[in-house]
Amino acid sequence: MQENTTQKRQITLCQLADQILERRPSILKTWKQKAASDGNLEVISSISSREFLDHVPQILDIMDGQIRSIDTAATSYLNSERTRKMEYHGLSRWQQGFSITEVVRDWNHLRNAIIQEIAQIVDTCPEFRETSLNEVANVLSELIAEGINSSVAKYEEIRQAEAKGHLIDLNDSIEKLQELSQQQALVYREASHDLAGTLGILSSMTQIFHRNSKHEELKNLYEPLAEGLSTATQILEDMRVHSKLEAGQAIIKYETVDAAELMRKILTPYLLVAKDRGIQFEVSGPESLVIETDQAQLTRILQNLMHNALKFTQEGEIEVKWGKTQEDGNWFATIQNSGVLSPPESSLPIGEKMINASISNPHGDSQIISSKLNDQTDRIELPTGDHEKKEEVDTELKVPRSGIGLSIAKRLCGILHGRLDVSRNKDDYGVTASMFLPVRPPRP
């Protein structure tokens, strides 16, 4: 009796499978129509019908075999084959440009197309409703669920492979950049060493020539020649410092420093130059600001920023502020120049194109000390004598330095656990440089 029931059930399933197979073209057509009318599946319009069908007809063949089979071994083989075909289908969909969301929608359209045809079969042959419909529904549910899961798994596998490839490429690029950086630093050091020796010899010969020359006209050539050699030497020093920073060889020695006192000391000669040029120079900040930092490196940062401000300010004003920030316990120094006659950014040296527009408003409450600094400056007299002697102070700072001053300052700020923000002023060609450093830097 049980055997007869099983045979009858098997015959009915095979008959239903025959009906579904007969309606296969209609199923595929309905599926294509549903996908094409889905506004979220725009990729459908860019692929051919053959590409759209891909492995689905073979997957439906496997479903047909699963409906007909009651043999456990055969069912196991069909399940394995179905999984393999679905992985191929998922890969094809990725190659065709489907997103994972589009793949899921595509599988759902296929399910709905199959259900629609089965519903029409049952309406025509009601005998399938009680005996076979549940088995077919289970096979179909497993098919669609595995199709979606297989596609998601394949997409994740591809994503991980791509990410791994990108990581390998990125690591290769980083290694090449580090190698180039080391080579560049080596070239800088070798060039600086060789040129420094040559300049030293030229400087010594120039001094000997100045002392021993009997011709007054030749002696007058000494000053511009000496100034040129001094500028070239300073450029080489910048290159040397830059190469050490590139190679990660900067040595930091922390000590307790009064930043306000250091600022006044650094600003005094620049204030002389500004006064001689008729540039308005405004300074404000607390009288004392005790911090821990590397004084030599901080001095180099501030000198580079001040030199840059004076270099591009032929008229107008320079404003310098310093103090503590209110929110994070850091301290700041801001140098702003009007730069009325400074060139547009496109003509600046490459080291001075590092413009960061993310400058914030760092200024907390500060005590104005410009009068005190001006009082100090008033007691420092400019060199006396003829006009040429007076120009010595101006010329020393007016000669353009190399274009890596800002690059050096920015890197040194990073080494001191701070940052340097540089931005163009809205009203003129001027620049605002804002340095932020910790009052107490973290120790290793």
**95-145 pLDDT, tens digit each:** 888 988 899 999 999 999 999 988 888 888 777 766 667 778 888 888 888
Residue 378 maps to which CATH number?
Answer: 3.30.565.10
And the tokens for 307? 């030199």
Distance CA 276, CA 394 (A): 7
Q: What is the pLDDT of residue 343?
A: 46
From the centroid of its chain, how far is CA 429?
A: 27
Return the minimum-mean-pLDDT range out of 150-159, 219-228, 378-387.
Answer: 378-387
More confident position, 244 or 118: 118
Residue 32 resides in a domain: yes
Q: What is the count of structural domains for the chain?
A: 2
- Please return the burial class of 347, using the count of CB atoms within 10 Å of its CB with bins 0-12, 13-18 and 19+: exposed
**3-state class (DSSP) for residue 360:** coil
239: in domain: no
C-alpha of 143 from chain center: 44
- Whether 348 and 311 have beta carbons less than 8 Å apart is answered as no
Distances (CA, A) of 258 to 18, 130, 157, 377: 93, 93, 58, 20
Question: Residues 79-93: what's their mean pLDDT?
Answer: 86
- Assign residue 90 the CATH number of its domain: 1.10.490
For 128, the 3-state DSSP assignment is: helix
Using CA atoms, how far apart are residues 322 and 436, in angstroms rounded to an integer?
10
- Look at residue 347 and tell me whether its pLDDT is greater than 50: no
List the domain range (segments joined by +) for residue 282. Answer: 253-438
pLDDT band at residue 165, thresholds of 50, 70 and 90? confident
Domain boundary among 169, 199, 214: 169
- The answer to whether position 233 is within a domain reads no
- Least confident range of 157-166, 349-358, 433-442: 349-358
Q: Residue 288: what pLDDT?
A: 94
- Does 187 reside within a domain? no
Taking the C-alpha atoms of residue 367 and residue 373, their distance in angstroms, rounded to an integer, is 13
Residue 311 lies in a domain: yes
Query: In whole numbers, what is the pLDDT of the chain averaged over residues?
Result: 75
Give yes or no for a contact between 104 and 150, defined as CB atoms under 8 angstroms apart: no
Q: DSSP label at 44?
A: G
pLDDT at 342 (0 to 100) = 42
Pairwise pLDDT comparison (327 vs 243), residue with the higher score:
327
Q: Judge if 398 and 261 occupy the same domain.
A: yes
In whole angstroms, what is the distance from residue 224 CA to residue 396 CA? 10
Instruction: Tell me the two tokens of residue 398.
Output: 């007016």
- Predicted local confidence at residue 364, as pLDDT: 38
Residue where a domain stops, chosen among 153, 169, 185:
169
Q: Are residues 265 and 369 in the same domain?
A: yes
**Residue 1: per-residue pLDDT:** 47
> Where does the pLDDT of residue 219 fall: very low under 50, low under 70, confident under 90, or very high at 90 and above?
low
Domain end, chosen from 149, 169, 189, is at 169
User: Within this chain, do residues 159 and 293 fall inside the same structural domain, yes or no?
Assistant: no
Q: Indicate the pairing of strand 280-284 with strand 290-293.
A: unpaired
Q: How confident is the model at residue 5 (pLDDT cuts 50, 70, 90)?
A: low
38-to-32, 70, 100, 155, 409 alpha-carbon distances in Å: 10, 37, 15, 22, 57
By mean pLDDT, which of 132-141, 215-224, 333-342 is the weakest? 215-224
Domain identity same for 259 and 154: no
Lowest average pLDDT, out of 30-44, 82-96, 280-294, 399-413, goes to: 399-413
Distance set, CA 224 to CA 218, 282, 403 (Å): 11, 31, 21
pTM for the model? 0.42
How many other β-carbons are positioned within 10 Å of the β-carbon of residue 96?
17
Provide the percentage of residues in the chain whose pLDDT is more than 90.
19
Do 165 and 258 reside in the same domain of the chain?
no
Is 217 domain-assigned?
Answer: no
Task: Count CB-CB contacts under 10 A for residue 95.
Answer: 11
CB 240 within 8 A of CB 185: no
Q: Are residues 276 and 145 in the same domain?
A: no
Give the residue-averaged pLDDT of 340-358: 39
Q: What was the pLDDT predicted at 81?
A: 85
CA distances from 172 to 167, 178, 182, 247, 248 (A): 8, 10, 15, 19, 20
Note whether 335 and 423 are within 8 A (CB): no
Query: Residue 391 above 50 pLDDT?
Result: no
